Amino acid sequence: MMHSPLRLHSTDATGDMVIHLIATKGDIARIALPEALAAKLKEKVGKDELVYVIPSENGTTVVVKAKLEEETSYRNQAYRALGAKLCKLLNTDGATAATLLNTGVLNKDYVLQLCEGMALANYQFLTYRTGDKAKPNSLKELMVSDPSIAQDDLAEVTHLVAATCIARDLVNEPPATLTATELGKRVMALGTQNRFEVKVMGRKRIAELGMGGLLGVNKGSVEEPAFIVMDYRPDNAINSSPIVLVGKGVTYDTGGYDIKHGGNMRGMKCDMAGAAAVAGAISAVAANRLPVHVVGLVPATDNRIDGKATVADDVLLMMSGATVEVQNTDAEGRLVLADALHYAKQYAPELVIDLATLTGAAARITAHHGIGMSADKAPQKELLMKSGEEVYERMMEFPLWREFHDAIKSDVADIRNMGGAAGGNITAATFLHYFTDYPWIHLDIAGPSMMETESDYRLKGATGVGVRLLYRFMKNYSID
């Protein structure tokens, strides 16, 4: 359940809570607030490097967004961040509705980004809170008075934010609730809601397909595995072969017999953030009816321990027919993804993009600021990177040098699921690369998938990273 969705409406009227958008040379934005609200802001915010309060010539208090770098990605992000600050201010004041008034002085895109930041910041996950802690945000409705912005523009933002919050909800769910089977049920509901097809395969069909990676990771679990297939195929699709999205769906990762230690098991409910991103992205694409044929694949299981669990030194027979020596049971994500990547071959895909919270090595490089990326034979890579800059889900590319292929050679099987200690994020990508023969991009989202502290519209907990990136890529792809 998505909590506190913000309804966005285009309007010609203005109410009491009117926020005037004022463009001023040298500033990213000036925003005139109702005087009582501005006074509260002055008390609570004071002055920092981004937002401060000054009196204007007519006595109205004005919030000024300080000038940042000229790069488009930073400027776009500044408007989203400003929207998040406004959202929090309005909720603190108990406002239920507000109107953004723009008389054409600000670019349409900047206004929409401000709305996006407000809507994303209004998210709450209240399912397991009680009493006063379950209190929803007061802000329910945002009207936009701008002659250049139509209701369809705001509907697109609404659908995209809703899809991002769907992904946040899935990742924020505790593992006892969101099993692989439950994940399949929730994706089925999303398909019904947004008009795309969903098929959920259980253990029997997974075994018939020979998905030894998925079954091998699932051996220690009391929960059934699932393989989830999503298919959004509009009649006006511009691509004859689909773009396939593959999301890692490890609903909880103990590490298996190579058990996580030192507190590293906490937060491992986020190990299905790739699956959540794929479900959210296809929901957004379908809700906004983009003319792109997209398929989503999610191999889902948890990674736990019992007497039957896979151990290091085991050898798994994958769906592709390749054999894999397991050297570390905590390198399980690449095992389930490998089967899904092989399954994708049947579509003769134009492009395959996988998303996974795959390695701590990638997270240590990008932190929560970006995504680790590797690619092969993918001319769409530049468009994806451009889309990432636009939504501020940026990528750092890592190479697939042949030396890394040497690092995953096995003495007893075709390959092994671990390389050396160095370059762990690259050897993980190299392992996945072994199972591809099509244009392919790998996204390691381990860094930005969860936030330990709040950062503007990225609240503490799940971020929904990947949804906005993939949606923007699909939109850019459809109009290029």
- Residues designated as active site: 260, 334
DSSP assignment string, 324-391: EE-S-TT--HHHHHHHHHHHGGGG--SEEEEEE---HHHHHHHGGGEEEEEEES-TTHHHHHHHHHHH
Classify residue 160 by its DSSP letter: H
Phi-psi region of 371 (alpha: psi -120 to 50; beta: other; left: phi over 0): beta
Q: Closest Cα partner for 82 from 128, 132, 33?
A: 33
For Cα atoms 200, 201, 206, give the angle at the middle one, nearest 5 degrees. Answer: 155
For Cα atoms 337, 169, 134, give the angle at the middle one, nearest 5 degrees. Answer: 155
Say what angle helices 381-391 and 72-93 make with each other, to 10 degrees. Answer: 40
- N-terminal to C-terminal alpha carbon distance within the chain: 35
In this structure, are residues 367 and 324 in contact, taking their beta carbons and an 8 Å threshold?
A: no
List 389's β-bridge partners, or say none: none
One-letter amino acid identity for 384?
L
**SS3 annotation, 40-64:** HHHHHHCECCCEEEEECCCCCEEEE
* Proportion of the chain in helix, strand, coil states, percent, rounded to 5: 40, 20, 40
Q: How far apart are CA 206 and CA 204, in angstroms?
A: 5
Q: How far apart are CA 60 and CA 54, in angstroms?
A: 9
Name the token pair of 388: 């990432």
Phi, psi of 316 (to 5 degrees): -110, 140
Classify residue 224 by its DSSP letter: P
Q: In what order do the strands lie in the sheet with 51-55?
A: 7-10, 141-145, 97-101, 18-22, 29-32, 61-65, 51-55
